[in-house]
Amino acid sequence: MDLSKKHNIHFTGNPQAGKTLVFGHGFGVDQQSFSQIVPAFEHDYRIILYDNAGGGQSDLSSYSYERYETLEGYVTDLTAIMALAQGTPATFIGHSVSGMIGMMAANRQPHLFDKLVLIGSSPRYLDDAPASYTGGFDEAALQALFDAMQTNYEAWVIGFSPLAMRNEDRPELAEQFARSLQALRPDIALAVARAIFFLDHRMELPRVTRPTLIIQTANDIVVPAVVSEYMEQHIPGSKRIKINAQGHFPQISAPGEIITALRSFV
């Protein structure tokens, strides 16, 4: 399978630049979610954009329930994509689950990564009783989420989109996210959601050797602030910043905040 076709890979930016930025999107969106961020870096960096298997304009024929039952399939994919940086120092900017995918890939192939940026990422979404770890969800909440997706996907999308996006004063943002979710095949969306929400990669955090920036927003229904605090405590030498943004998709709702944060780090 042609890697470029499989992941709808796009190269932009300055081909002569000595550094590369690779952007990885989260669940329910695709590479277009970074469209307001990329122009700020096109002059000084080579930029690689791609769609995760099962999402965006990726080749759906390459999606396999078995391969993507855990994040390992995505990690293997990302390792191949990072190699396209052709030896230039590459900073990986991962939103949501792609932050974890990037961290895991960097732990396995550190030579491919220069720095890591984790936007709204979590090593585990499930709470760990008794109160030793707060991820933001208990098993009943997750089962209700999966049941809702399975029973009436359209209704779930309409309910979930504004909760995840926040920014109630700009309903068009939630509508945009809803359209993105509706474009997913419901069976794939459910399978991907299961792979994400049942993950536990806390053991990967202390192994990180690359400079890491953790970006946290306010009122993120998916990743509460306590999770980013936990990550900062467990990723050696990491830096956590809280930005002036609401919800789980700051690259869409507050691109200026993300650009400022990235510029201070990359």
pLDDT for 131 equals: 66
- DSSP E strands in the chain: the ranges are 10-13, 20-24, 46-49, 90-95, 115-119, 212-218, 239-246
* Order of strands across the sheet that contains 239-246: 10-13, 46-49, 20-24, 90-95, 115-119, 212-218, 239-246
Catalytic residue among 7, 25, 95, 248: 248
Structure tokens at 190: 């459910």
Helix, strand, coil percentages (3-state) for the chain, rounded to 5, are: 45, 15, 35
43 catalytic, yes or no?
A: no
CA 213 to CA 90: how far, in whole Å?
14
220 catalytic, yes or no?
A: yes
Catalytic residue among 30, 51, 77, 220: 220
pLDDT for 45 equals: 97
CA 95 to CA 200: how far, in whole Å?
17
* Per-residue pLDDT of the chain in tens (266 residues, 90 and over written 9): 799 999 999 999 999 999 999 999 999 999 999 999 999 999 999 999 999 999 999 999 999 999 999 999 999 999 999 999 988 889 999 999 999 999 999 999 999 999 999 999 999 999 997 768 999 999 999 999 999 999 999 999 999 999 999 999 999 999 999 999 999 999 999 999 999 999 999 999 999 999 999 999 999 999 999 999 999 999 999 999 999 999 999 999 999 999 999 999 99
Residue 37 per-residue DSSP state: T
CA 246 to CA 134: how far, in whole Å?
20
Measured N-to-C along each axis, helices 139-151 and 153-165 cross at an angle, to the nearest 10 degrees, of 130
Question: What's the gap between Cα 234 and its chain centre?
Answer: 19
Size (the chain), residues: 266
- Sign of the torsion angle spanned by Cα atoms 197, 37, 225, 241: positive
Catalytic residue among 30, 58, 95, 96: 96
Token pair 């709702």 is found at: 253
Structure tokens at 266: 């990359």
Give the domains, in start order, of the chain with CATH numbers. 3-124+202-265 (3.40.50.1820)
Residues 6+ apart with CB under 8 A from 29: 55, 56, 95, 177, 180, 249, 252
* CA distance readout (Å), 211 to 20, 110, 204, 233, 266: 15, 11, 15, 14, 10
pLDDT for 210 equals: 98
Q: What is the CA radius of gyration of the chain?
A: 17
Task: Give the angle subtended at the CA of 72 by the CAs of 181 and 12, to the nearest 5°.
Answer: 60
Q: What is the pTM of this model?
A: 0.97
